[in-house]
Amino acid sequence: MNLLLDGNAIGTGILIHNNLLLTCNHIFTKTQVKQAWARFDYKSESNNSKINLFELDINFITQSRQYDYALLQIKGKVQPKAISINENTILDSGQEIRIIHHPRGNPVFISNLGQIMQVGEDYIDHNLKTDDGSSGAPILNNQWELVAIHQGNVGIGRNFEPGTTGAIPIRSIWSQISPHFS
């Protein structure tokens, strides 16, 4: 889903359980967001209506600057089904992945297959092509299971291959977000 602030795209997010949205924390902290919306089913410019637009409760359910994630409640009844999550997925260098995102706030784009280039305890680096507005987007394995959320630039002080960007593995934040699924 596309995330909006004053009608402008600020990132991408994913419905992970009932009305819970997972995305990156930095998209809210860098813009000092006071009110935001999630837009579902934004597949084409002609589908740019307010029908599938839901306000977010920006009093985060939980968040972490260290792991750069935010879990938010969507106000209202959401129809789309939450994505399948496999928190125990083993991630390896060379593993094929893809991203579903809204680059530059454009309609949803499903990437071609890319690869995980490097794996750490609390990060992965990948070679998927992304852009502004991709932060918080779901990264999926070949079984279309959520395995990470796209973060963007690789952290300072870490070695990485040129042309790669970073993501947060679901397994590294699972113990912090899963208690909110009841």
Return the CATH number at 132: 2.40.10.10
Same domain, 23 and 61: yes
Q: 93-99: which pairs have CB atoms within 8 A and are 24 or more residues apart?
A: 93/117, 93/118, 93/119, 95/141, 96/141, 96/142, 97/126, 97/128, 97/139, 97/140, 97/141, 97/147, 97/148, 98/128, 98/139, 98/140, 99/128, 99/130, 99/134, 99/137, 99/138, 99/139, 99/140, 99/150
Q: What does the pLDDT look like over 71-121, one tens digit per residue?
A: 999 998 887 788 888 888 889 999 999 999 998 988 899 999 999 999 998
Query: Residue 68 pLDDT more than 70?
Result: yes
**Domain boundary residue among 74, 105, 127?**
74
Q: Which residue numbers are catalytic? A: 26, 68, 135
Same domain, 99 and 173: yes
Which amino acid appears at position 32 of this protein?
A: Q
Instruction: Please tell me the predicted confidence (pLDDT) of residue 99.
Output: 96
* Domain assignment of residue 87, yes or no: no
* Domain assignment of residue 90, yes or no: no
CATH of the domain at 13: 2.40.10
Same domain, 48 and 120: no
Q: What is the percent of the chain where pLDDT is above 70?
A: 92
Q: What does the pLDDT look like over 7-60, one tens digit per residue?
A: 788 899 999 998 999 999 999 887 677 889 998 878 877 655 567 889 999 888
Mean pLDDT within 132-142: 94
Instruction: Please tell me the predicted confidence (pLDDT) of residue 158.
Output: 67
Same domain, 109 and 69: no
Instruction: Please tell me the predicted confidence (pLDDT) of residue 55.
Output: 92
* Domain assignment of residue 59, yes or no: yes
Instruction: Please tell me the predicted confidence (pLDDT) of residue 79.
Output: 77
Counted domains in the chain: 2
* Domain assignment of residue 55, yes or no: yes
Same domain, 104 and 165: yes
Domain that holds residue 113: 95-177
Mean pLDDT rounded to a whole number for the chain? 88
Same domain, 99 and 67: no
This prediction's pTM: 0.91
**Domain boundary residue among 28, 43, 74?**
74
